[in-house]
Amino acid sequence: MNLLNSNDFWQFACNLYSKGDMQTRLLDYQNQLGKNVNLCLLLYYLDSLNLAINQTQLNKLEQSISEFDKLALKPLRATRAYLKANQAEITDYAAIRKALLGAELKLEKQQQIILIDEVNSMNLTPCATPNNSDKYLS
């Protein structure tokens, strides 16, 4: 298998995220089911490349990002939510929000790099009709 490129994945993810109700659906997976948006996007990306993962590989992908999610992304999201709820008392809220969104986007991209590095260490199975997200979302 040729190695996957994190920039190609980023472009795919940005494109997919912006289509139709995909953003809402992915955020529902995150907020209601506790799923990771970048992992969902990666699974859709692998589907588009006709590559299937097994449950053990999916577990490894989840493990590869769990610490980064817990220590970097989730605290930043919690900070943004707190500031949004209290924006009337926050001086220069708009500028702070913009800076935090920029930082979160950079962290999301870093998490995607972690996922691609992990995928590139695996032997994925070519498959005409993979449905990787079902393994994660069910």
Token couple for 75: 């605290």
13 close to 93: Cβ distance less than 8 angstroms: no
- H or E segment to which residue 88 belongs: none
Strands 51-52 and 125-126: antiparallel
Q: b/e map of 18-41 (b: 16 or more CB within 10 Å)?
A: eeeeeeeebeebbeeeebbbbbbb
119 close to 4: Cβ distance less than 8 angstroms: yes
What pLDDT, in 10s, does the model give residues 30-85? Answer: 999 999 999 999 999 999 999 999 999 999 999 999 999 999 999 999 999 999 99
In this prediction the pTM is 0.93
Between the CA of residue 1 and those of 50, 125, 131, what are the distances in Å? 12, 9, 19
Token couple for 28: 């529902």
Residue 1 has pLDDT above 80, yes or no: no
